[in-house]
Chains A and B, each alone.
Chain A
Amino acid sequence: MIDGRERILGRLERVADVRLKDMAHALLLRSPTARGTIRRLDAEVARSMPGVIAVVTADELRTEGLDAIRFGTIVADQPILAVDRVRYAGEPVAVVVASSLAAARRAVACIELDIDPEPPVADALAALTADAPLVADGRTHNELTRWGYERGDLDAARAAASHHFHGRWTSPVAQVVSLEPHAVTAHWRAPDSLELWTTSQSPSRVAQELARIFELPADHVRLHVPPVGGAFGGKNHAKLEPLVALAARTACRPVRFVNSRAEEFVTITKHAVSVEIDSGIDDDGRIRYRVARVVADGGAYANSSPVIPKAAGSAVLGPYRIDAAGVDAVVAYTNNPPAGSFRGLGVSQAAWAGEQQLDEMAAAVGLAPMEMRRRNLVRDGDRLPNGDLARDPHWLACSEAAVELLEQPAAEAASTAHAGRTRRGRGMATVMKATMSPFRTEVLLSVHADGHAEVRASAVDMGQGARTVLARLAAEALGLSIDAVTVVDPDTALTPFDATSSSSRTTYQHARAIGAAAERLRDEIEELATEVSRGQPLLAYAGGRVTAPDGSFDRSLGELLRAGGRGELVAKGAFVNEPEHDPRSGAPELTSHWHQGAVAVEVSVDIETGAVRVVRVGGAAWAGHIVSVDGARLQNEGNVIFGLGPALFEEVALVDGVPASTSLRDYRIPSLRDLPHELRTVALEAAAADHHPEGLGESLIPAVAPAIANAVADAVGVRIRDLPLHPERVLAAIDAASVGP
């Protein structure tokens, strides 16, 4: 990484490190209950305390005419502060701005808040019943969005199937646990000019949202996003920015706010999802039909939930040839903390169900899991379950590669501890994830008189190495050394529009945009060269130099610009990932491209305790053109490690909508001790040199949990349908199946 040294030495400036003159500190008073009416909110004592600069409540929102304002990139339904009612435990009710955090803390403690609590709508299935209390304003039901499709003759397919299957799988609420919590610093440079530093993954769209909320011209809102300490989707869309901006405006001071770790648990979560699938196969194991119903818990406000039905619904049936297929996917409002993007965006929850049932089907007709996939995975020209053409499919190659990694000899002999009480098993899963389409990305690419090049893009580096990738893409496109390329961090005054740094799109989108910009820049370079050389023909640009074939002209980029009296040459490039159109119907396909991956695992199950240990993992993802070999490997390995936690122990328990714990002492994520003995991954690369790069950020994570569950089933003959696979759950399943030594 180009900034690896700074990262390791802790020298990267983060949002919380930003220091502004007269900067004040904000703390929030949050609702302790999931649902209720605010009977009394008295901040008078707090306002008069030493160090307190301002207290903002719903009363101040009303005074400023902001009480009716709602924000949300897709569905604008979230108030800046709770007004009259609270809809989830943790919802901000008031914000205190003070000269110090200690003063703010003392003041928050003195705000008197009385809420008449009501029984919360705590479950998505219950929320969708006809008599469920309504969660959101202005709606007659709790359904937020729905997506689905039907294709093929389901009756005929059912008749053709000789084996029928039904199952229901559940995934719980989970937490992202980024290293850096959400943080925002807001400063009003003038009454109509707002500047923010934020950990957002979507600076361009958040800036647009803030301009709308505060009725500002678009170029009067400026967002800076320094490298972020992890996001994984949890920092997508506006979260705390409107609130901190309002606090800064009220206080007439720059204001800094950083979520505590406990507050992270109530800012954004991973959707709890239940999936039911009915499927049928023939005696040869060919899938005749699959029909799925997906129900997701979106929590109290929309955030990115509107896309969940499509994200999960498009992946649940897997990349298989199916005669007849149908999906009905819905996300519901509840009084739980808002759910949003989480690495994999609904696909993990979908694959948890779909890939387990696939193995159940395989076992029923005596097929090995890989053979089941070999018989059913789409090939080039086939139709995916929703009817889209399978363009450039590599799922079979990924599956075979993952299995092959596991077939290689183990690096060390298996432990013989408690050999009589443990069972080994292997399992696999193959997953598909649509990239959100269409999304727009713009970049500015420039070369300068000192010979360096600069990339300006609103791509957020959140640990995935975006800075390095952009530098490498620009270096490759311009034939320069990566050391000659500077990347400007997202700053909406300097970097052009990018929809979001999510959906594993940064490399894919920016490769195209930088390529387009580089092409225009090359034209400008050649034009300048013609001018400087006074019309010399056959000049060519390569490797950072403009040369004539006979050697009579040879200038570096810097020399060329200086000779031409230019300080810089700038070109803009843009790319929109428009999906293809179906050749039969002409309708746009669901996505511009699919992320493709497969994971194979070997587990050891202690049949006396239910403990599952992941021993070996093989993972293969389709990468297209690999920009950074190290980066690709780290993404793949990170996918697998990230997936272990939700598979084995991650779960936020909610009691009447309130998290039972908001501490990392109780919510554990994988540590070094949880890593498999062996973790091997491969990024499959295109043969064609001009193939575009594919995103790798989410290609393997959705496959981890179902692969482990399939391996557990192989080891002990029990199928577990609820996550996580904690020991008591596994042991109960073993007991039920009467598995003995």
Chain B
Amino acid sequence: MVSNRGSGLNRFVRAETIEQVRDALAADPGLRPIGGATAVVSWHRDGAAPGRWLTTDSVAGLRVLEVGADGTLMIGAAATLRQIETDPRVRAGWPLLAEAIGHIAGPAVRGAATLGGSLALGAASPDPAAALCALGASVELLDGPRLPVAELPLLSGPGAGFIVRARVPSAAHGRGAYERFTVRGASDQPFVIVAARITAGTPRVVAWAGQDRPTSLHAVAQAITRGEPWLTALESAIADLALPDSDRGSTAFRRRILRVLARRAIEAVLATHEAQA
């Protein structure tokens, strides 16, 4: 027997200070923070049930985008992707991040979407997370620990945590490469992403192929550092990744693309690094 299903209404709570955020979340554990709400429209079109939403676009201090005295880039969770992408300091100092963000949707969407919302979406918006991982960034949660991006828990449900800001270490003397593959046209959601970077001689290789969080391929980075055959380490690391199914291609195909993109990204950063040396 096949039946139809139901629907309802959304409710919004507005916060203007971090204290109000804290109070609102404590009073209603089912409240979910949203940034530009670009994903909410999409969810409802998919038939998701309505929810209770905490808006963050007016929270003082949450849109900060500044470079500290030590060269650390600090990005507030409510900073829009467009704000980050077009900031000349970001483009000059952290071009990997600007490039990654530039792949997302179009300028109109990036003008509303926020970094916090993007990180909270997990697999639905992997580009900023992948780039931030490769840059060694960490994320501060409200009343919680500061965590590397790759270790952020899933923030997709109520009570999962509130992102305050991302901290991105100084990117001086570093070069990166960003490889991204789509299946259904150039504007499609990503199928595979690889971000690679060598900062002060330390390599980072980050792979995303549908997981909730990008994965740092530590063994590959170590092999590069030690001058060992990193291709072998890469094959092994990719084989060990648990990848979800996708309607855009088989898992075998996904691993294959990951292998190709990772190899290309690493070769690119090594070539640049050697040229610099």
Binding site for B on A (CB under 8 A): 29, 32-33, 36, 39, 105-106, 108-117, 260-262, 418, 608-609, 611, 645, 648-650, 653, 660-661, 663, 665-666, 668-671, 673-674, 726-728, 731
- Complex contact A649–B253 (CB within 8 A): no
Q: A111-B4, A670-B185, A671-B187 are in contact. List 15 more A-B contacts (CB 8 A).
A: A105-B7, A112-B4, A114-B1, A114-B3, A115-B1, A116-B1, A117-B2, A609-B260, A611-B181, A663-B46, A666-B184, A669-B185, A671-B185, A727-B183, A728-B250
A671 interface neighbour in B4, B45, B186, B253, Cβ under 8 Å: B186
A113 (CB) vs chain B CBs: closest residue: B4
List of A residues within 8 angstroms of B188 by Cβ: 649, 668
B146 is an interface residue with CB less than 8 A from chain A:
no
Cβ of B46 to closest chain A Cβ, rounded Å:
7
Q: Which residues of B contact A674 (CB under 8 A)?
A: 185-187
Interchain nearest-CB distance for B244 vs A (Å)? 15
- Contact (A653, B186) CB under 8 Å given A109-B7, A111-B4: no
Give the one of A114, A115, A666, A668 with max B CB within 10 A: A668
Task: Tell me which of A645, A665, A671 contacts B189 (CB under 8 A).
Answer: A665
B227 within 8 Å of A by Cβ? no
The answer to whether B6 and A109 have CB atoms under 8 Å apart is yes
Q: Mark B236-270, 1 if CB is under 8 A from A, else 0.
A: 00000000000101100100110010001000000
Q: List 7 A-B contacts (CB under 8 A).
A: A39-B1, A105-B7, A112-B4, A649-B185, A665-B42, A669-B185, A670-B185
| B247 / chain A contacts, CB cutoff of 8 Å | 653, 660-661, 666
User: Which of A36, A609, A671 gathers most chain B CB within 10 Å?
Assistant: A609
**B185 touching A114 by the CB < 8 A rule?**
no
Q: Is B5 part of the contact surface with A, judged by Cβ < 8 Å?
A: yes
Please give me the residue from chain A that is nearest to B106 by CB atom: A671
Q: How far is the CA of A113 from the CA of B184 in the complex (A)?
A: 36
- In B130-166, the 8 Å CB interface with A consists of none
Cβ-defined contact, B2 with A32, below 8 A = yes
**Complex: A660 Cα to B46 Cα, angstroms:** 12
A736 CB, min distance to chain B CBs, angstroms:
14
Cβ–Cβ contact B7 & A106, under 8 A: yes
A668 touches B187 (CB 8 A): yes
A728 touches B249 (CB 8 A): yes
Question: Closest 4 A-B residue pairs measured CB to CB?
Answer: A673-B186, A671-B187, A668-B184, A649-B184
Chain A residue numbers with a CB within 8 Å of B260 are: 608-609
Per a CB cutoff under 8 Å, which of B3, B5, B253 touches A728? B253
Q: Which of B1, B185, B253 has the most C-beta atoms of chain A within 10 angstroms of its own C-beta? A: B185
A51 to chain B minimum Cβ distance, whole angstroms, is 14
**Alpha-carbon separation in the docked complex, A111 to B2 (Å):** 12
User: Are A109 and B185 within 8 A (Cβ)?
Assistant: no
Interface residues of B (CB under 8 A from A): 1-7, 42, 45-46, 181, 183-189, 247, 249-250, 253, 256-257, 260, 264
Smallest CB–CB gap between A739 and chain B, Å?
15
From B4, B183, B186, B187, give the contact of A726 (CB < 8 A): B183
Closest A residue, CB atoms, query B249: A728
Q: Are B253 and A33 in contact, CB atoms less than 8 angstroms apart?
A: no
CA distance A731 to B5 in the complex (A): 41
A115 touches B4 (CB 8 A): no
Query: Chain B: which residue is nearest A645 at the CB level?
Result: B185
Contacts of A262 in B (CB 8 A): 45
Q: Give Cα A110–Cα B6 distance, bound, in whole angstroms.
A: 7
Q: How far is the CA of A110 from the CA of B3 in the complex (A)?
A: 10
What is the CA–CA distance of A113 and B183 in the complex, to the nearest angstrom? 38
Cα A284 to Cα B264 in complex, Å, equals 46
- Give bound CA distance, A111 to B4, whole Å: 8
Instruction: Report the bound CA distance from A608 to B256 in whole Å.
Output: 9
Complex contact B2–A33 (CB within 8 A):
yes
Q: With a CB–CB cut-off of 8 A, which chain B residues contact A673?
A: 185-187
Most buried by A among B2, B6, B188, B247: B2
Q: A32 — which chain B residues lie within 8 A by C-beta? A: 2, 4
Please tell me if the beta carbons of B253 and A731 are within 8 angstroms of each other in the complex: yes
| Chain B residues closer than 8 Å to A650, beta-carbon distance | 184
Instruction: Give B188's nearest chain A residue, CB to CB.
Output: A668
Chain A hits for B256, CB < 8 A: 731
- Least CB separation from B191: chain A residue: A727
Please indicate which of the listed interface residues B5, B186, B247, B256 has the most CB atoms of chain A within 10 Å of its own CB. Answer: B186
Minimum Cβ distance to chain B for residue A146 (Å): 34
Tell me, in angstroms, the Cα distance from A673 to B5 when the chains sit together. Answer: 38
Q: What CA separation (Å) do A260 and B7 show in the bound complex? A: 16
Residues in B neighbouring A114, C-beta threshold 8 A:
1-3
Docked complex Cα distance between A668 and B188 (Å): 7
Chain A residues, CB < 8 A from B264: 418
- In the complex, the answer to whether A609 meets B181 with C-beta atoms within 8 Å is yes
For A109, give its contact among B2, B4, B183, B184 (CB under 8 Å).
B4
Distance of A648 Cα from B260 Cα, bound (Å) = 21
Residues of B within 8 A of A115 (CB): 1-2
**Chain A residues positioned under 8 Å from B6 (CB to CB):** 109-110
Q: Which of B184, B247, B250, B264 has the most CB of A within 10 A?
A: B184
Measured CA separation A335–B46 after assembly (Å): 24
CA distance A670 to B264 in the complex (A): 26
CB-CB under 8 A from B253, the residues of chain A are 727-728, 731
Give Cα distance in the complex from A370 to B86, angstroms. Answer: 48
Complex CA distance for A669 and B7, rounded to whole angstroms? 30
Q: Name which residue of chain A comes closest to B45, CB basis.
A: A663
Whether A609 contacts B257 by the Cβ 8 Å rule is yes
Q: How far is the CA of A653 from the CA of B187 in the complex (A)?
A: 20
A109 and B5 in contact (CB under 8 A), knowing A418-B264, A665-B42, A666-B247? yes
Query: Shortest Cβ distance from A723 into chain B, in angstroms?
Result: 13
- By a CB distance below 8 angstroms, the chain B residues around A661 are 247
List, in ascending order, chain A residues with CB within 8 A of B257's CB: 609, 727
Evaluate contact between B7 and A727: CB separation under 8 angstroms: no
Closest to A106 in B: B7
Q: How far is the CB of A104 from chain B (nearest CB, A)?
A: 11
Chain A contacts of B250 at CB under 8 A? 728
- Tell me the complex Cα distance, A347–B84, Å: 47
Known A-B contacts A668-B185, A671-B185, A674-B186; the reply to A727 vs B249 at CB < 8 A is yes
B-side contacts of A112, CB under 8 Å:
3-4
Q: For residue A260, which residues in chain B have a CB less than 8 angstroms away from its CB?
A: 45
How far apart are A493's CB and chain B's nearest CB, in angstroms? 38
B249 → A minimal CB distance (Å): 5
For A109, the closest partner residue in chain B by CB is: B6
Contact status of A649 and B183, CB under 8 A, knowing A105-B7, A661-B247, A728-B253 = yes
A663-B45, A731-B253 as given contacts; A648 in contact with B185, CB under 8 Å: yes
A661 to B184 alpha-carbon distance, docked (Å)? 14
